[in-house]
Amino acid sequence: MSRVPLSIKVNGEELELMVEPHWTLLEVLREELDLTGTKEGCGEGVCGACTVLLEGEPIRACLTLALEVQGMSVTTVEGLAGEKTLDPLQESFIRHGAVQCGFCTPGMIMAAKALLLKNPCPQEEEIRRAISGNICRCTGYAKIVEAIAAAAPQCNSSIRGPLQGPGEEPT
Amino acid sequence: MSDYAIIGKRMPRVDTPAKVTGEARFTADLKFPRMLVGKVLRSPLAHARILSIDASRALALRGVKAVVTGQDTFGEKWGVFRYTQDQCFLPMDKVRYFGEEVAAVAAVDEDTALEALELIKVDYEELPAVFDPLEAMAPGAPLVHENFPQNINIHVRIEVGDVEGGFAASHLVREDTFTAAEESYFQGEPYAVVARFDLEGNLEIWMPNAGPHMKAKPLSNALRIPLHKVHVRKVAIGGAFGGRSEISPADFICALLAQKTRRPVKIVYTREENTVCTRQGHSMITTIKTGVDSSGRVLSREVTCYMDGGAYSSTGPIATSVPFLCMEQAYKMENVRYNGFRIYTNKPIRGMIRVHGRAFACGVDTQLDMIAQELGMDPMDIRLVNAREAGEYTPTKSFVASCAMKETILKAAQKARWKEKRGKLPKWRGIGIGCNSVQTGFPMGIRGGSQAIIKFNEDGGATVISGVVDNGQGNDNMLVQIAAEELGLKPEDIQLVSADTELTPTDPGAYSQVSTFVGGQAVRLAAAQAREKLLGIASEMLEARVEDLVARDRMVFVKGSPQKAIPIQKVIRTGLSKGRVVTGEGSYWPKVDPRREWVQNPYGQMCEAFSFGTTIAEVEVDPRTGKVKVLEVVAAQDVGFALNPLVLEGQFEGAVAMGGQGGMLSEYHFWDKGRVMNPTQLEYKLPIAQDMPKIHCIIVESHDPKGPYGAKEAGMSIAMSAAQAYSAAICDAIGVYLKDYPLTPDKILKAIKEKARG
């Protein structure tokens, strides 16, 4: 098969690539660009591990042909952190213990990012709905929901506080 | 409250920064120059003789670098035990389940590899197959393995006390049969392997694992290369839940392809392969007969369990025993008989999973509820009457040094307002309780202990070398927390080298809930030895006795005089200038009875500690649809001591999701003969964020005398008690005792309708 040109912006960088017409966006990100933070968990759009932002909207990279995003802007988990600082969502996931095996984490964070971009002050139900397409097998979602709520600091969320219960953080 | 600097704190895990940025590398993320893609050809039949394999057309395809079949192997058979060696990683004679490995290719890319699979021609002679354990045991049934009559793979037989006498003395005897379908792990990460050989002929291999040393030995055997030349490397691991404890045929096949092509090879399983061709949970038929006195105290119990083991042994003897062991630990039983049969069928291979037998655990607890109802007792009270206590022996003769089972029942009941709710909830609402216990370790032979090595570095930090692996639960952080505490350092001062068979000493692996108890203890002992040497140098500098010195917050000082502290870095540098290197070694070997054996002698000390837990769930059932809404869950566990409450809560919450929400409401496989009809997440229903109820976690601490800082296990016992609590709550809500798991809406609706008809 012959490759065709693809112009996309990934994490702010304009790229000119040659891709097979049948490649998915996920294959281009992982295989061509080595952006392996975006995971493949099912390959059929169910698990959400491949969630990336397309023009700020969450999409499944595994169900999106690369050529469908011609000329558009894609953000992956690698594009969230600044040079020295993490995105508040990333900080919050760490601090709240929202990560266990971590395989779903990049997709989960991207789904949450899309939510916060639209709705900076989400209620618990809105958070749960926003990540309902992202399967986590380890956490039972409790700490993920807490972490997302806490990453919207301007809100007086009624969601369980971050650091209750026994023990305290080491100094 | 203990005066720890780091232990017991809500410390965010050291492995998480790399995981939130996407920088953590899982196996499928690895890439090497000249790397090939491997793909496996799988059996399209459940039971068939392999007559011939012709790979010539595949080999002729451009881009194909190798094809391997059973003919390329030494034909070594794998089994966890010597007496269970029954599986060739690439079978030569016959295939025994739909999806079994038949051949594999390595090619320059995935498209070529997939095309090559289609060009391999295999001639099969289809054989009669069996898909049901009871049919498989019947006379004249086809044999999955010729040398196992009636397809009985394992028979575990335990008998303690006077079972018949106990029944005769009982005020009430009940016998009920409980059944459950297979469930799957659905780890976030599908299985993957990368293998390559270095210039000295060492195999380097990466894969999700629950114990790198447990992978290296069978690889060494099957490839016939020395053990020290098998280097299982550390890699981020996307979950295990008991499903990654053993060698996988993919490990061997990938290594074989790398050996043959002299190039790195990567195999990444599809989601369907991960479900069908790794491991599944056993389906079960469990008959439980229990006799009690008028106070509800169990006098005698007999359990017979038939487990569908699938095509090969896997962890068979362990898997056949653990469901029973969990319940003999949780509840007092003086007179008990257990017959556990693991039966071969032509279905995928079954292994250990976080909930050890829904039909077992939920069966025992459901029957307790039935008995309590007949006696007019509260379900909580019948559990308090029978709950295990510290200082007792289990029926199979394990001493229970620490146990706060009763405390978990009482605390969970108080938090859930059990007494106010049980029997007083509105129609279609229900509340249920489940209790369970799990082992902290098994007898594991020469790999039953863990060793650790620690060295201080010139900058005052330390390197910790341990074989413990982290497959998602936070073991890396546990090791760092313990080392930092003992050495008087900050967590960021610790360099962790772990889970690598070339570099790290032996460790039993992160299963059987043993990592903290054994691996953590080894690191603690190694650190204590290094600290002793550190303080020896400091004692000369401070002109004080070693026993009066404290190492904390990167400083060494005389107890009570932190103002006259000297930095640890200075102590290390002073030591270096005198040629005194500060290192430590630690080894922990659990005091188990080495004569205990799963089948031949299932008696003696099983492990050193047991955890105990209680879950209470409150549910609402929609009588029109049979759908269950879980309103609230309280999970209480005796973990010994909480090294890190933040991590523990995550284990509790995840356990409720997997054992209760998924395990009891929606997760099961359905079949067309030997073929799984719901191998992916589209059809197999895992809990999502909107399904989950509010979970209250209660950490109970019994301070185990042997555990590091008193710690035991966390995370598995709640998965089991959550399954039991969900089941009990649903039965309470609809007023019917259900006996076939999971409790899906169709079964609930049917029970409601049958009850209404009387």
Convert the pLDDT of each residue in B386-427 to its tens digit: 999 999 999 999 999 999 999 999 999 999 999 999 999 999
Residue among B238, B656, B680 minimizing CB distance to A101:
B238
Residue among B20, B649, B656 minimizing CB distance to A105:
B20
**Closest residue in chain A to residue B109, using alpha carbons only:** A31
Distance from CA of A142 to the nearest CA of B (A): 7
B23 touches chain A (CB under 8 A): yes
Residue among B29, B190, B658 minimizing CB distance to A36:
B29
Distance from CA of B410 to the nearest CA of A (A): 19
B14 touches chain A (CB under 8 A): no
Kindly give the parts of chain B with pLDDT less than 70: 1-2
Q: Does the pLDDT of residue A157 top 80, yes or no?
A: no
- pLDDT for A164 equals 42
CA distance B612 to B718: 9
B642 touches chain A (CB under 8 A): yes
Which of A29, A137, A144, A163 to probe the B interface (max B CBs under 10 A)? A137
pTM above 0.95, yes or no: yes
Cβ burial of A99 (10 Å; 0-12, 13-18, 19+) is buried
Total count of residues recorded for chain A? 171
Residue among B25, B653, B686 minimizing CB distance to A36:
B25
Residue among A30, A101, A169 minimizing CB distance to B9:
A169
Q: Give A90's contacts in chain B (Cβ within 8 Å).
A: 20-21
- pLDDT for A159 equals 59
B747: Cβ contacts below 8 Å, ≥ 6 apart: B626, B738, B740
**Closest residue in chain A to residue B268, using alpha carbons only:** A40
**Closest residue in chain B to residue A100, using alpha carbons only:** B472
CA distance B401 to B705: 7
Q: Does the pLDDT of residue A170 top 90, yes or no?
A: no
Please count the other Cβ atoms lying within 10 Å of the Cβ belonging to residue B202: 16
Distances (CA, A) of B679 to A41, B272, B273, B277, B532: 13, 5, 8, 10, 54
- pLDDT for B35 equals 98
What angle is formed at CA B96 by the lines to CA B95 and CA B97, rounded to 5 degrees?
105
Which amino acid is present at A80? L
B678 touches chain A (CB under 8 A): no
The gap between the terminal CA atoms of chain B, to the nearest Å, is 57
Q: Is the peptide bond before B742 cis (omega within 30 degrees of 0)?
A: yes
B188 touches chain A (CB under 8 A): yes
Which amino acid is present at B437? S
A127·B10 Cβ contact <8 A: no
Q: What share of chain A is helix, strand, coil (3-state, %, to 5)?
A: 35, 15, 50
Give residue B175's Cα distance to chain centre. Answer: 30
Helix or strand holding residue B365 (H, E): helix B358-375
B584 and B594 Cβ atoms separated by less than 8 Å: no
B22·A142 Cβ contact <8 A: no
Strands B230-232 and B203-206: parallel
Nearest 10 degrees: Cα torsion B416, B421, B426, B429: 40
Where helices occur in B399-462 by DSSP H, the ranges are 405-416, 418-421
Nearest 10 degrees: Cα torsion A94, A100, A105, A111: -80
- pLDDT for B559 equals 95
Distance from CA of A119 to the nearest CA of B (A): 18
Nearest 10 degrees: Cα torsion B503, B506, B508, B511: -10
Distances (CA, A) of B491 to B2, B533, B553, B558: 19, 20, 10, 23
- pLDDT for A162 equals 43
B474 touches chain A (CB under 8 A): yes
B688·A86 Cβ contact <8 A: no
Which of B4, B11, B16, B20 to probe the A interface (max A CBs under 10 A)? B20
- With b for 16 or more beta-carbon neighbours within 10 A and e for fewer, the B457-476 pattern comes to eeebbbebbbbbbbbbbbbb
3-state secondary structure of B669: coil
Q: Give B5's contacts in chain A (Cβ within 8 Å).
A: 170
B238·A81 Cβ contact <8 A: no
B328 touches chain A (CB under 8 A): no
Structure tokens at B429: 């609402």
Residue B710: left (phi > 0), alpha (psi -120 to 50), or beta? left
- pLDDT for B512 equals 85
The gap between the terminal CA atoms of chain A, to the nearest Å, is 59
Q: Residue B292: beta bridge partners?
A: B172, B298
Which of B7, B10, B112, B274 to probe the A interface (max A CBs under 10 A)? B10
CA distance A30 to B441: 39
State pLDDT tens for residues B467-510. 999 999 999 999 999 999 999 999 999 999 999 999 999 999 99
B12·A140 Cβ contact <8 A: no
Q: Give B186's contacts in chain A (Cβ within 8 Å).
A: 135, 137
pLDDT confidence bin for A158, thresholds 50/70/90:
low
Q: Does the pLDDT of residue A8 top 90, yes or no?
A: yes
Total count of residues recorded for chain B? 758
Q: What is the DSSP letter of A38?
A: S
Please count the other Cβ atoms lying within 10 Å of the Cβ belonging to residue B295: 12
Q: Does the pLDDT of residue A165 top 60, yes or no?
A: no
Q: Does the pLDDT of residue A161 top 80, yes or no?
A: no
Q: Give B657's contacts in chain A (Cβ within 8 Å).
A: 137, 139-141
B6 touches chain A (CB under 8 A): yes
State pLDDT tens for residues B49-85. 999 999 999 999 999 999 999 999 999 999 999 999 9
A137·B188 Cβ contact <8 A: yes
